[in-house]
């Protein structure tokens, strides 16, 4: 008989479906994939490109909604390039970061993190070695010397100095090559200076966008990479450098909607610089992949032939039931079940495909949760699928969604009423009512619509409102997802198609929805009345903006105070560590992962700050407010979740620290497997914790200090969902830190 713990570890490690935090850039790991038209077409383009000599490049635009498989498609292309022998191909992945900021932010952040300093220096040395070796052909130098130069067995700089060769000639050749990207000779000079130990730091800071050091100015480097065109130009220089003498270079830019999240068109100079980058890829034989939401591709004008885009592929078609069946069968083959569907049945697979609406990410997430829930019974039933579907789609609780809807209505200076009875006190009630002249707009809010019963309930509510107010306009916001079988009924039952809540783009989506709702009603009114109403709203919006700026100033001060308290607490905690642990601390990057999780958890809940302020002189009456709220059972449960989550993180950190203390060098495969058991155990415990309740804690506990009295309506929803992702990814990121394979990164042979 197996020990219980051994059995649990087997079950934990047996789940074949990747978690949302799984790193798609573990290119050496076999990933289950099923053929789709989008993947087949992308592979066909890459195969055709690889079959050529690499003289002409390809610019592939991959567009699609969230979770439709854009990242998976890109990873499959990178795996194809990775499988080529020798120096046949190099490849790189650059993921955009949250918060926009344009291409300049993308360059300084993720792009340079991918093309790290050591790699850049190695590729410069390689590029320079080839230039020197080319100049020695047919000059009497032995062929063995030029071969050793190209393979970096001989240091090219030392070789040039030893034989008193003309370094200026080689620099001119390097600048001539870089002129394919830019006429700015500063890059050629900077790349050569990066090979010098005494100037490498200054050059790297300049490449990061800082002002050039006086030592660099003396050598002709006087400009600064501080705007969109220069950032795109620098990307082209590094891409050309990394392509080097390799036949092929596959470069992926992912989640580009985060670069320009606004619906407005980028400036003309940014469009021109982006065109230069795509032109470079075409001319220099680079296989460039641009992944993003359809809105991004529209923003850069790809439909107006403004860029050298070879092909556009959409991933929005979704997975069919047969494709989901194939995916689950292939996934089960690596488990204890072996060939077949394992705990799934054909009927259950069809139900999963129906609820997921063909969305690849939802399919994987539902399967992952269902498999975990079936460990004891070894059978997945419909109730498990429903629980998994709701848990995976409704990460944001209803309270958070309602707060954001209210904030957006205030930002647009719209009068609105909540839980409003239409036509009088006995009339049908709607969650949000926006008056427009003698009628209005009724906005309904619901969680996932999973069957016809859910849909008809909502349609009946909208019909009752229209019966009471015939000119009313109706809309539905869904905090979850809608199965395809009822989508058409909902579109017919409301004035507008249902709006699926997505944090990343809700502001833009909601603004557009309101415009479509109110437009037809305002068009029927007198023009003077419309103008007067618009002016009134603009004045109110200006007042709201001024109020927000004042709140923001208080919020910044609040964050500063909180951070100072947290750093002081962290310093005390570090002093309390026993001497044995201080002698062998966790690696800095791993320590930061745990510190970040605990710090963000405390900042989100504000629990410690609220309790400490009970005894502060600044707000002596706050103890009453805290105690009154703790009489609320919901508050007590939520406090318990917050403290239990913090305790689980602390226990996880202790286990990792003890494991790390037993290492006498880099961890072996067996030791990494042991760490993996810890990490996945943490993930499993976390899934059973109702951490979504943490979103409500800030409302249940008071913020009584005068400096912290403003509740951050505009930033809290982002922090809440970021907290969920941070906790969900903690185990995976800890494991990756010790395995030495961080997310993204450039790879070559």
Mean pLDDT for back-to-back runs of 10 residues, the chain (749 residues): 37 65 57 88 90 80 87 89 78 73 78 80 82 78 80 79 75 72 76 84 88 88 86 84 77 82 65 80 86 78 61 87 92 87 91 85 87 86 83 64 84 82 86 87 87 88 91 89 82 90 78 86 62 53 52 56 56 50 70 84 66 52 48 60 83 87 81 83 75 55 40 42 69 80 39
| pLDDT reported for residue 747 | 41
Gap between the terminal Cα atoms of the chain: 47
The sign of the dihedral angle between the CA atoms of 380, 386, 390, 393 is positive
> According to DSSP H, which parts of 495-632 are helical?
506-523, 527-576, 579-583, 588-605, 607-613, 622-630
| Cβ burial, residue 22 (10 Å; 0-12/13-18/19+) | middle
C-alpha 442/C-alpha 429 separation (Å) is: 9
Q: What is the dihedral of CA 139, 141, 142, 143, to 10 degrees?
A: -60
77 contacts: CB under 8 Å, gap ≥ 6: 42, 43, 46, 250, 252, 287, 289
Contact yes or no for 479/446 (Cβ under 8 A): yes
Residue with tokens 């010098």: 196
| pLDDT reported for residue 707 | 37
What are the structure tokens assigned to 545, written together? 């903006």
C-alpha 193/C-alpha 195 separation (Å) is: 5
Map out the domains of the chain with their CATH numbers: 1-26+319-393 (1.10.8), 119-230 (no CATH), 398-525 (3.40.1350.10), 544-747 (no CATH)
| pLDDT reported for residue 708 | 36
Task: List the one residue out of 262, 213, 259, 210 whose CA is nearest residue 94.
Answer: 259
Neighbouring CB atoms inside 10 A of 553's CB total 11
| pLDDT reported for residue 392 | 56
606 contacts: CB under 8 Å, gap ≥ 6: 697, 698, 701, 703, 708
| pLDDT reported for residue 710 | 34
| pLDDT reported for residue 683 | 77
| 501 φ/ψ angles, rounded to the nearest 5 degrees | -65, 125
| pLDDT reported for residue 494 | 93
Complete edge-to-edge strand list for the sheet that includes strand 89-95: 311-314, 58-63, 286-292, 248-254, 89-95, 745-747
């Amino acid at each position: 008989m197996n020990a219980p713990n051994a059995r649990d570890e087997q079950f934990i490690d047996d789940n074949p479906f990747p978690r949302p935090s799984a790193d798609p850039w573990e290119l050496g790991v076999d990933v289950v994939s099923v053929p789709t038209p989008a993947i087949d077409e992308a592979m066909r383009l890459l195969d055709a490109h690889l079959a050529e000599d690499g003289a002409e490049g390809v610019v592939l635009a991959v567009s699609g909604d969230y979770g439709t498989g854009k990242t998976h498609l890109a990873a499959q292309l990178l795996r194809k390039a990775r499988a080529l022998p020798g120096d046949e191909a190099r490849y790189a992945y650059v993921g955009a970061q949250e918060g926009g900021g344009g291409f300049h932010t993308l360059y300084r952040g993720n792009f340079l993190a991918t093309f790290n300093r050591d790699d850049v220096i190695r590729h410069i040395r390689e590029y320079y070695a080839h230039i020197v070796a080319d100049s020695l052909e047919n000059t009497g130098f032995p062929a063995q010397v030029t071969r050793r130069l190209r393979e970096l067995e001989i240091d090219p700089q030392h070789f040039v100095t030893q034989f008193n060769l003309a370094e200026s000639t080689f620099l001119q050749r390097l600048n001539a090559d870089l002129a394919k990207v830019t006429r700015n000779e500063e890059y050629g000079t900077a790349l050569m200076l990066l090979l010098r130990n005494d100037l490498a730091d200054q050059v790297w800071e300049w490449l990061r966008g800082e002002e050039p050091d006086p030592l660099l100015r003396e050598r002709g480097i006087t400009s600064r990479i501080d705007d969109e065109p220069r950032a795109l130009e620098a990307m082209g220089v590094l891409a050309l450098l990394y392509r080097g003498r390799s036949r092929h270079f596959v470069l992926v830019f992912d989640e580009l909607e985060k670069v320009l999240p606004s619906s407005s068109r980028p400036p003309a100079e940014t469009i021109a610089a982006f065109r230069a980058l795509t032109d470079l890829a075409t001319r220099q034989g680079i296989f460039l992949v641009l992944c993003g939401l359809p809105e991004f591709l529209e923003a850069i004008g790809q439909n107006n032939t403004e860029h050298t885009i070879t092909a556009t592929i959409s991933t929005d078609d979704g997975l069919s039931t047969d494709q989901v069946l194939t995916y689950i069968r292939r996934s089960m083959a690596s488990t204890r079940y072996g060939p077949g569907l394992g705990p799934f049945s054909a009927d259950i697979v069809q139900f999963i495909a129906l609820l997921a609406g063909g969305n690849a990410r939802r399919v994987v997430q539902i399967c992952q949760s269902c498999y975990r829930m079936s460990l004891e019974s070894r059978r997945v039933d419909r109730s498990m699928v429903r629980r998994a579907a709701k848990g995976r789609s409704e990460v944001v609780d209803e309270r958070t969604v309602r707060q954001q809807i209210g904030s957006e209505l205030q930002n647009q200076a719209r009068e609105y009423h909540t839980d409003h009875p239409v036509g009088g006190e006995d009339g049908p009630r709607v969650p949000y009512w926006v008056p427009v002249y003698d009628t209005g707009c009724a906005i309904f809010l619901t969680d996932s619509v999973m069957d016809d019963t859910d849909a008809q309930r909502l349609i009946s509510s909208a019909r009752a409102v229209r019966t009471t107010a015939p000119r009313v306009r109706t809309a539905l916001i869904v905090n979850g997802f809608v199965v395809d079988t009822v989508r058409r009924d909902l579109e017919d039952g409301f004035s507008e198609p249902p709006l699926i809540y997505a944090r990343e783009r809700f502001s833009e989506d909601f603004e557009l929805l309101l415009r479509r709702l109110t437009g037809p009603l305002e068009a029927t009114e007198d023009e003077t009345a419309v103008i007067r109403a618009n002016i009134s709203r603009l004045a109110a919006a200006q007042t709201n903006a001024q109020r927000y700026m004042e709140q923001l100033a208080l919020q910044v001060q609040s964050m500063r105070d909180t951070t100072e308290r947290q750093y002081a607490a962290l310093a005390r905690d570090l002093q309390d560590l026993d001497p044995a642990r201080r002698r062998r601390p966790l690696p800095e990057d791993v320590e930061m992962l745990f510190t970040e999780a605990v710090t963000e958890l405390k900042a989100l809940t504000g629990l410690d700050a609220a309790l400490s302020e009970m005894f502060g002189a600044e707000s002596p009456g706050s103890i009453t407010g805290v105690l009154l709220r703790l009489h609320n059972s919901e508050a007590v449960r939520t406090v318990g979740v917050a403290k239990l989550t913090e305790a689980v993180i602390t226990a996880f950190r202790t286990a990792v620290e003890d494991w790390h203390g037993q290492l006498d060098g880099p961890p072996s495969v067996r030791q990494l497997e042991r760490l993996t058991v810890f990490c996945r155990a943490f993930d499993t415990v976390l899934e059973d914790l109702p951490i979504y309740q943490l979103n409500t804690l800030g409302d249940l506990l008071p913020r009584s200090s005068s400096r912290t009295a403003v509740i951050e309506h505009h930033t809290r929803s982002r922090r809440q969902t970021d907290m969920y992702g941070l906790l969900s990814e903690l185990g995976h990121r800890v494991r990756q830190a010790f395995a030495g394979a961080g997310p993204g990164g450039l790879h070559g042979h």
